[in-house]
Amino acid sequence: MSTSLDLIRASERIVVAGHLRADGDSLGAAIVLARGLRAMGKQVELILPDPPDSRYSFLERRTPWSIYSGKGSLPDHDLVIVCDCSQLDRLGAMGTEIEILGSKRLVVDHHPFDRAVHRWDAEYHDVTAAATGLLAVDLLRELGEEPDKIALEAAFVALMTDTGWLKYSNADARAFAAAADLVGRGVDPDSVYRDIYQQTSAGTPRGIGAALASTEYLADGKAVLGWIDGATLRTAQGELVDTDEILDILRAVQSVEVVAFLSERGGRVKVSFRSKTWLDVNQGARQIGGGGHARAAGATFPEGVSIVDAREQLSELLEAAVSAGPPAA
């Protein structure tokens, strides 16, 4: 099997991609690699399967990307590098085309995945890494290329968004050391924080309020399920670009171990999971065709599943998961 370095060195035309609704880690890793590989003289196209969260528009101003426009739109390429995602189906129609084309593909990721199901020609993979963006920096340096200042900022975005600004359980000593190193190399944390978290619309607080009004506590308060549909959001004149704020508020409740929140995206129902100390929400997300980390995961229900149906399914899933109790020491 080719190594990641071998594949990259042998390729001249490279597509770098993130997953659907790319988050800060997926975007940050992709930007690090796209900029670094271009500096090495590679022809690189940074393509996303759909538009990411608008809060990351400041990254696009510095490193433009394009959005996949349908079958036949991928440029000629020798290699596809997918960042922060080890399942091609999480690239939607773009992933389907990559599969059909038989493209050489490399995954750069920190999520666990089943190698018997998801085939890659090479992988740069470490489940202990706090963020895929840090792996992208490491990969680039192994290739002999030092990330430029804009790439370092993107890596900082990846690290900070995936660790909840260094407050989640994946924020280990390596993560803190990496953050300090990136700031020491010129990244301005105050500017990055403002760009991500302090540019919301006036409708966002109303959206959060409407969403919190729907919460339901389960399993003697150990689990909480929340939801909001498009009609309710419109009635409240609210906006809900991201659900992290809601998940953090609900997870802060003393009795709560696990939170699940449902929202509608592009005509389909999405669920985001968070847990506090012991419940592996990645396992729950996988039951719905998603995945992620032990403490943070997500999934999108199949087309045609209503938010009411999803609520019923998740209520049963959460009750069963919490009632099993923490694993034996």
Q: Does 167 lie in the same domain as 22?
A: yes
Q: Does 232 lie in the same domain as 209?
A: yes
What is the pTM (predicted TM-score) of this model? 0.90
Of 174, 197, 220, which residue is a domain's last? 197
Q: Residue 22 carries which side chain, given as an amino acid letter?
A: A
Distance CA 91, CA 49 (A): 6
pLDDT at residue 324 in the model: 82
* CATH (domain of 145): 3.90.1640.10
Name the residue among 265, 264, 295, 260 with its Cα closest to residue 279.
295
**Residue 328 domain-assigned?**
no
What is the total residue count of the chain? 329
Q: Does 94 lie in the same domain as 187?
A: yes
Q: Does 179 lie in the same domain as 306?
A: no
Of 197, 212, 241, which residue is a domain's last? 197
pLDDT at residue 2 in the model: 67
pLDDT at residue 265 in the model: 84
* CATH (domain of 239): 3.10.310.30
Domain count of the fold of the chain: 2
**Residue 329 domain-assigned?**
no
Per-residue pLDDT of the chain (329 residues; tens, 9 = 90+): 469 999 999 999 999 999 999 999 999 999 999 999 999 999 999 999 999 988 999 999 999 999 999 999 999 999 999 999 999 989 999 999 999 999 999 999 999 888 888 889 999 999 999 999 999 999 999 999 999 999 999 999 999 999 999 999 899 999 999 999 999 999 999 999 999 999 989 999 999 999 999 999 999 999 999 999 999 999 999 998 888 899 999 999 999 999 999 999 888 999 999 999 999 999 999 999 888 888 999 999 999 999 999 999 999 999 999 988 887 66
**Residue 15 domain-assigned?**
yes
Q: In what order do the strands lie in the sheet with 223-228?
A: 216-218, 223-228, 258-265, 268-275, 296-300, 291-292
Q: Which residue segment(s) compose the domain that 302 sits in?
A: 204-323
Q: CA 44 from chain center: how many Å?
A: 22
- Which residues does 60 contact at the CB level (< 8 Å), separation at least 6? none
Q: Does 168 lie in the same domain as 210?
A: no
Q: Does 224 lie in the same domain as 182?
A: no
Of 197, 229, 251, which residue is a domain's last? 197
Distance CA 100, CA 104 (A): 11
- 3-state SS, one letter per residue, for 179-232: HHHHHHCCCCHHHHHHHHHCCCCCHHHHHHHHHHCCCEEEHHHCEEEEEECHHH
pLDDT at residue 276 in the model: 94
Name the residue among 28, 89, 35, 82 with its Cα closest to residue 53.
28
